[in-house]
Copies of this chain bind each other. A is one copy, B any other.
Amino acid sequence: MRVRLRDLAEGLGLSVMAVSKALHDAPDIGAATKARVRAEAEKRGYWPNQAARSLRSKQSGLIGLLVPDLASEEAAGIAGGLLRAGEAARISVMVAASGEKKGGEAAQVKAMMGRGSEAIFILPKITTEHRSLALEAVMQAGLPVIFFQRYPADVSPGRARVSWVVRDMAHAAQLVLDHVWKQGHRSVAYLGGHPAERSHAEHCKAVREGAAQMGMELVGEATMAGLTPEDGEREMERILQGKSQPTAVICGNDAVASGAARAVLQAGLHLPGDLSIVGLGDGELARHGPVALTTVAFGNLGKAGFELWMASRDGGEMKPRTVGCELIDRGSTAEAGGGGKPSPTPSR
């Protein structure tokens, strides 16, 4: 933080204002002057003091993102998308992890507001009630809030500048059901409904209803507390020991699918020859794991959230968005009853 507008102005024999305007490409400054100013700024390595700028203009060019923990792929993906979208619009992103602590969220959000965040993006914890002191404060301050994936039940969008971006879970379920149906599967298991998570509950429901409609039998259905690989492994083992065996297993996310695949391999069975598995989310585990998983890829939530905010920036309304999805076939599913031969696993 060294060269100031004043330094440039003195060096050029201009006023501070003229320099400021020139750098902002204001219409009332001559082209020649602008060129001179820009050259000098470049030469002396000027860059603006944002603290001063936002103090004066109330425009910080900063947004805040609050996630439970960056280590999760969900959070990293959202953050990445938001960062990329932000950069294109010259918006900086402050990231905070709310972690386990209860009061954490409020303090983090206050820090963001203190720095002049123009909007707050939140990926709520699954276990949270989504409604905190922090949120009250933000909304009272009139700041836009965009939720990812989960959102408070008692807030209506539009009013109060609150909105959200979710995944099209019903469509995802339909894609998966169509896929396994076409391969001749008539008896499937579902692993992964999460009782406290709207989107997973929705997926579960869509699979259940879709299967019924198509005349597919749902021989195993597990609701689980965590959607971790361990949960998937445990439930898969349970199914393998049951009497009526499915020919395909639909999972609530890639982690569960990965755990299920682990159980299948442990049992000495072949994938996908003996059993087909479908994941959800197209994460690292599906793409790069020892078993490439057929899964459903979603559009980036972070990017969609940013666009939603940008579109509302000049007073527009904040209409919630749903990001679409597509099925990615990596060969962890095969024709039903296709025998023990594993099909080759393509790398993409």
Contact = CB atoms under 8 A, between A and B. Distances in A.
Interface-central residue, A69, A70, A104, by most chain B CB under 10 Å:
A70
Contact of A80 (B69, B77, B80, B228): B69
Nearest to A56: B51
B228 A51 contact: no
B288 A265 contact: no
Contact of A229 (B47, B112, B347): B347
Copies in the complex: 2
A291 B47 CA distance: 50
A80 B100 CA distance: 13
A84 B68 CA distance: 11
Interface of A: 1-2, 45, 47-52, 54-55, 58, 60, 62, 69-71, 73, 75-77, 79-80, 83-84, 87, 90, 92-97, 99, 104, 108, 110-116, 137, 140-141, 228-230, 233, 255, 258-259, 261-262, 265-266, 268, 284-285, 287-292, 342, 344-345, 347
A116 B1 contact: yes
Given A94-B92, A96-B87, A288-B285, A113 B73 contact: no
Contacts of A258: 288-290
B284 A261 contact: no
5 contacts: A49-B114, A229-B289, A230-B347, A258-B289, A291-B291
Given A71-B77, A94-B92, A285-B288, A62 B115 contact: yes
Nearest to A97: B83
B49 A55 contact: yes
A76 to B, nearest CB: 4
A141 B97 contact: no
Contact of A137 (B45, B96, B137, B140): B45
A20 to B, nearest CB: 14
Contacts of A75: 76
A95 B62 CA distance: 11
Contacts of A114: 1, 47-50
A268 B69 CA distance: 38
Q: Please provide the 4 A-B residue pairs with the shortest distance between their CB atoms, ordered closest to farther.
A: A261-B290, A70-B80, A76-B76, A229-B288
Contacts of A261: 290
A76 B80 CA distance: 10
Contacts of A93: 94-96
Contacts of A99: 84, 87
A79 B76 CA distance: 10
Contact of A290 (B1, B70, B95, B290): B290
A288 B79 CA distance: 22
Contacts of A116: 1, 49-51
Contacts of A228: 288
Interface-central residue, A84, A114, A255, A344, by most chain B CB under 10 Å:
A114
A213 B219 CA distance: 57
A70 B83 contact: yes
Contacts of A1: 58, 113-114, 116, 141
Contacts of A83: 70, 95-97
Contacts of A58: 1
Contacts of A92: 94, 96, 111-112, 115
Contacts of A90: 111
